[in-house]
A and B are shown apart, each in its own frame.
Chain A
Amino acid sequence: MSFPHLHVASAYSTHYGVTLPEALAEQAAADGATFLAVTDRDGLYGAVKHVRACVAAGISPGLGADLEVHDDDTLAPLGRVVVLAHGGSAGQGNTGQGNAGQRNAGQSSGGRGYAALCRAVSSAHETTARLPGHPPSIPRRRLAQLAGLDSLTVLLGPASDVGHAVERRDNPRARANLVEWQRIMPPHSLALEVVCHLTEPGMPGSVAPATRMLALAEYARLPAVLSNAVRYGTADEAVTADLADAARNLTPLAQLAGPQLAGPQGAGPQHSQTEAGPLQVNGQAWLKPAAAMRQVARMVVDAGQHSDGALARLLRDTHDLADRCALDPIGDIGLGRPRMPEASVIGVTRDPLAELWARARHGIDERYADAGRHGLTAAHDRLAHEMATVESLGFAGYFLTVAAVADIVRGMGIRIQARGSGVGSVLNYALHTSSVEPIGNGLLWERFLSPERQTLPDIDLDVESARRHDIYRKVFETFGASRVSLMSMTNAYRGRGAVRDAGLALGMPDTQVAAIAKQMWRFNARDFRAALAEKPELEELATEVRESAQLDLLVDLTARLDRLPRHISVHPCGVILSDASLLDRTPVQASGMGLPMSQFDKHDMDPMGLIKLDILGVRMQSAMAHAVEEHHRLTGEHIDLDRVPLDDQATFELIRSTRTLGIFQIESPGQMELVGKLQPEVFNDLTVEISLFRPGPMQNNMPLRYLEAGHGEVAPDYIHPRFEPILRETNGVVIFHEQVMRLFDELTGCGLGHADVLRRHLGRPEQLSVIEAYVREHALGRGFDAGTIGRVWTVLAGFGSFGFAKAHGAAFALPTYQSAWLKTHHPAAFLAGLLTHDPGMWPKDLLVAEARVLGVPVLGLDVQRSALDYRVESVGDGQGIRMPLPELSGSSDAERARIVRHQPFTSLQDFRDRVHPRRRTFEALARVGALDSFIDHDRTRRHELLAHIQSLRGTAITIADDQLAFEVPLPVLDYEGPRFDAVTSLQLRGRTQSDLELLDTGLAVSGHRMRKYYPLFAELGVTPASQLATLPGGTDVLLAGVRRATNTPPMRDGRRVVFVSLDDGTGPVANVVFFHDAQERIGGGVFQTELMLVRGRTRRSGARGVSVTGEGMWDLVTVARDRARAQAKAARADGAAGVNTAAAAAAAARPLRRAAGSGTTEFDLWSTQSA
């Protein structure tokens, strides 16, 4: 005989349950159970995983939630109860698939219990939203309302108000509380829950209160059911539950357990065993097998005075309730049945399919208007092909929905770009969901959707990061909160968090735990012990662990916590769209940004038939939008980036020059080098470039093979003439998923849909032999010889899973091209966008340097002109970028808003009167030169200005925005006369404008930091970064600059290579590579020196690619100081003996120049730029 567990917390009851649903279901099934419920605390967090695990294990799932309840009127807490969903008649109704407009979950009996449960959980969380600080709790009358129509059973157990009274032996109160429940709840919706953890007499969870609960049920003529209030699968996991208790209470175990072993009279826990009290009383809350549960039942019945047959009745009632609560995954929960928003919501009045056809045909005609008759026909044919799949899968509503969202975003004037395999669809292109043309780019529909594909389609929309939340709100508004929810994500324990919480439980000192946590990386916490044995860098810790029993325990406990769910938070981009039944299928709670968030994560979406749209904020989109806006503000012209022709030669020339800093996707040192090699000429080259720059292709030397064939060094190897059309675009190298699919299709005739299934199975080693047999069998029949088949199979099998969908590459290539186009034609606006939204990998200093090189000066802070973001200004004939007010460190939002509101200012007094800056802000503005307009931009008078501001005295007053300011007379000073020359501010003396800017804004815009070293560079013969590309390979050079990036990419031979990007202010960064021997010679300086002088040799890669192999390195600051001393000494000697100064200086430079060699030409760049 089996036992059905009705009250089980999974690991998704964070810091409470510790066993994953899959393990629980397997364990229950192994014990012969036919039913298992999961009733997580405050939610259905583990519900979908549980249902799927039960399906896999062949048992019936039950679902419930362990919820707190309160009185509607007084808000008085009524303890915790278990709310269980009843099953309906399985499989009834609900056969329509994807039929928008159909709403039946709440009406037929199938799913009613589950819907009520979802609503109950959401309701509990509404309380938290309404009463901040209040834990999730459902009002009792709301629970009663939801329990109607035989939807729910509420279990009143030890943690309920009834159970509390029973625990206290307060029989009258227990009965009165129960009567109140019976009065409010609908008939047949209540049962009493008997829990006995066999604790010592007098403790919560002992046999006495359990038997009294049973007696109360008999008295009240209510069913009593037995549960074990389970928190873990097996008895040995009780240790992990102890850790969870410590983590939840943020208290070490020793403190939670009290001074001594808590006996009946001891200072035991005050809470009931099933309540989230400080520490579980013992370790019996495991998923006990049927025999052990019956044993408990016998002890409970035997401990009290019960009528005959009490034992059998208790077990029978438990089974009966389990039968009522057995849910049908399809009929009750709707597993696997997608639901789109109703057509009417997106403004569709006719059949969605007909509507989709009409819109798509129209879109094709418009999009392919210039494609010629042939192109247009091809597009319509492709559309018909795609629509056939859409129709058979019933996804018309989905495509209309996504297109509607894209329309909403565009309607808000926000940039949008589709990404992912959906870009391969001509339908998406026609609907303007995507802006990449799929046919010409060789993208395949089947990579996105086919009848063979079992998962719901996935279209990702990249939008401006700065507007993402606005979009969410608008989507909620448009579709209605009953159809939209944000998605959540489960954050699990990783190494550091695990070791911290394990250390906390053991009461170890914070500093000790932190020191260990710092070393927890590059391995999983569950492998902590193995890592200690293997990793040389952990040797010291391993020794400590051997010597300390406590540390040894810590290692085990850390491994136990690894991967356990820790908390949920809102997913960064997932938005769930559904019909009006959404809230019957997922519970929601408030997210950090206030909008409702589903308790389900991304793994739950597909099984639950929930359509998830990834609306991802992309900073580059914001940066480009800013650029377009700035251009419009200045010129009145509107740039439509999505209509910029994709064949602009100037744009490609810029990319080929490797001056790609700031351009989407191709601005890293590695990408600069690859772009230099590949020399892209057309849009497709960008797609290839982006796809090649990935770990798999890079480590397999694919760029080289692609290049060699491209340059005609070797003939492209197409293996067989029939593969040439597939592999021509990549010179015979298989790069894209789409190519693999086509190869499969050509070899076997399996169709592209099935080819995608085969492709995905390539990543599973155990599938390879099956696929190979299939390919060989069919390819022979299709006229391929065994040799060809063998060769192509080697390529396919080696391809494994590391390829890239061309659709992704093409979707990335579009913003790459667009940003390059902006940089080419509107550098000032583009850089203003980059500086404002900071989308890339480089620091702002380098962007400023790049702007300067492009002839776009970045202008300093000025209270008359600076705005809240980087703005383009006309400067002479050209354009400059004005630094914005938020760059001033320490100023407040309110101050900045007042400055912008009141610009311009007639005088310093006018500024003070209308802005009322705080003293700190006022002084900083003066120091950095933002007030120079009040002293006729005469920098020398800044001393006087600052001194004056510092001398101001007055009473602090409160002004608008709770701002302190000084109410003092501020005469308009007469800044003239000799007395002002006498004033020197110590804050200004000896500091260059760059120094001051770095001090108050962290960003030097007036000049490049390296500029003061230019005379030195000229003297030493340092090659400017901008001239590097003009030198042949193998030239000895000296480089100098400030470090902007350090990369240590993994290399094939496992030896570390360090890439340092140096900025000398002349152009893009110079990339220096330090190989192993150089690293050993130079030591820590490779990572630590900020301003450096490097000796090395140029290394050419491809037509425009150049980098420098670093051989020696010096600290530039030291070199400059030593030379200054040498020169001073030489000058003294000169004065004494009349020797030529220049000769002495040259002599001092000799040790360095020796290496520079004959290849170094003299560059006059230094002298012109240092002027």
Chain B
Amino acid sequence: MPQIIDTTVQVELSADGDPRAFVWDRFEHVVIGQPQAVFTRTRWWENNGTPTRIDTELWRVDAARGGEDQHRYDLRHDADGTWVLALDWG
């Protein structure tokens, strides 16, 4: 079962624009391999105002803290530019 984290994190991007590392709980987690992005549609017509995006940007990354075992995480990139660590899949 994934663990819900839901906290804002600092994300460092590579020159290509992929998440390279993020800082969570003061520790840097380094992304391993090619992270995958997923965009999920919203039912925007049920909310107030016209959206600038109709989908939510989610990055599924494998990352490790120092020499520890790698975990799979979901990083959400919100429309306002903030990154949220949504899930820790273990």
Contacts and interface: CB of A to CB of B under 8 A. Distances in A.
Q: Do A and B come from one complex?
A: yes
Contacts of B46: 254
A283 B54 contact: yes
A242 B42 CA distance: 11
Nearest to B56: A282
B26 interface: no
B54 A242 contact: yes
Given A236-B52, A284-B55, A302-B33, A262 B41 contact: yes
A286 B36 CA distance: 18
A384 to B, nearest CB: 64
A257 B43 contact: yes
A199 B39 contact: yes
Given A199-B38, A199-B39, A282-B40, A235 B53 contact: yes
B10 interface: no
B17 interface: yes
A308 B16 CA distance: 20
A412 to B, nearest CB: 56
Contacts of B55: 238, 282-284
Contacts of A280: 41
B24 to A, nearest CB: 23
Contact of B43 (A235, A254, A560): A254
A200 B41 CA distance: 9
B41 A257 contact: yes
Contact of B53 (A207, A236, A291, A557): A236
B15 to A, nearest CB: 9
Contact of B45 (A200, A201, A253, A282): A253
B3 interface: no
Interface string A183-219: 0000000000000011111000011000000000000
Interface in B30-88: 33-46, 48-55
B28 interface: no
Interface string A351-369: 0000000000000000000
Q: Which residue, of A239, A283, A302, A556, has the highest number of chain B Cβ atoms within 10 A?
A: A283
Nearest to B55: A282
A421 B25 CA distance: 78
A308 to B, nearest CB: 15
Contact of A282 (B17, B41, B49): B41
Contacts of B17: 291-292, 295
B12 interface: no
Nearest to B44: A239
Interface in A236-260: 236, 238-239, 242, 253-254, 257
Given A239-B50, A239-B54, A242-B54, A284 B45 contact: no
B29 to A, nearest CB: 19
A506 interface: yes
A1133 interface: no
A295 B77 CA distance: 16
Interface string A655-696: 000000000000000000000000000000000000000000
A505 B52 CA distance: 17
B45 A553 contact: yes
- What is the interface of chain A mostly: helix, strand, loop, or mixed? helix
Contacts, number: 87
Interface in A267-312: 280-284, 291-292, 294-295, 298-299, 302-303
Nearest to A296: B37
Contacts of B38: 198-201, 206
Contact of B34 (A239, A292, A299, A557): A299
A972 interface: no
A72 interface: no
Contacts of A207: 36
Contacts of B41: 257, 261-262, 280-283
Contact of B50 (A200, A281, A295, A557): A557
Contacts of B16: 291, 294-295, 298
A261 B40 contact: yes
A470 interface: no
Contacts of A556: 49-50
Contacts of A201: 38
Contacts of B51: 236, 239
A1137 interface: no
A198 B36 CA distance: 8
A549 interface: yes
A198 B39 contact: yes
* Of A281, A284, A292, most B-chain CB atoms within 10 Å: A284
Contacts of A295: 16-18, 37
A552 interface: yes
B39 A283 contact: yes
Contact of A553 (B18, B37, B50): B50
Interface in A741-761: none
B31 to A, nearest CB: 12
A299 B19 CA distance: 13
Interface string A536-550: 000000000000010
A443 to B, nearest CB: 54
Contacts of B36: 198, 207, 299, 302-303
B48 A283 contact: no
A507 to B, nearest CB: 8
Interface in A85-141: none
A206 B40 CA distance: 11
Interface in A502-560: 505-506, 549, 552-553, 556-557, 560
A242 B50 CA distance: 12
A651 B72 CA distance: 94
A282 B51 CA distance: 13
Contacts of B50: 239, 553, 556-557, 560
A295 B34 CA distance: 10
Q: Which of B34, B41, B46, B53 is packed against the most chain A CB atoms within 10 Å?
A: B41
B39 A197 contact: yes
Contacts of B52: 235-236
A282 B33 contact: no
A299 B45 CA distance: 30
A579 B78 CA distance: 57
Nearest to A557: B50
Nearest to B60: A201
Interface in B1-24: 16-18
Nearest to B52: A236
Nearest to A238: B54
Contact of A299 (B37, B42, B48, B53): B37
A280 B40 CA distance: 11
A437 to B, nearest CB: 60
A506 B44 CA distance: 10
A549 B39 contact: no
Nearest to A289: B17
A254 B24 CA distance: 38
A281 B40 CA distance: 8
Best-surrounded residue of B34, B40, B42, B48 (most CB of chain A within 10 A) = B40
Contacts of B48: 549, 552-553
A707 to B, nearest CB: 56
A403 to B, nearest CB: 56
B39 A505 contact: no
Contacts of B54: 238-239, 242, 282-283
A364 B38 CA distance: 76
A253 to B, nearest CB: 5
Among B16, B36, B39, B51, max chain A CB count under 10 A is at: B39
A368 B28 CA distance: 96
A242 B55 CA distance: 12
Contacts of A253: 43, 45
Given A236-B51, A299-B37, 5 more contacts: A253-B45, A257-B41, A281-B41, A282-B54, A298-B16
14 contacts: A197-B39, A198-B36, A198-B38, A235-B52, A242-B45, A254-B46, A294-B16, A295-B18, A298-B34, A299-B35, A299-B36, A299-B37, A505-B45, A557-B50
Lowest 8 CB-CB distances: which A-B pairs, in order? A302-B34, A283-B54, A282-B55, A556-B50, A282-B39, A236-B52, A238-B54, A283-B55
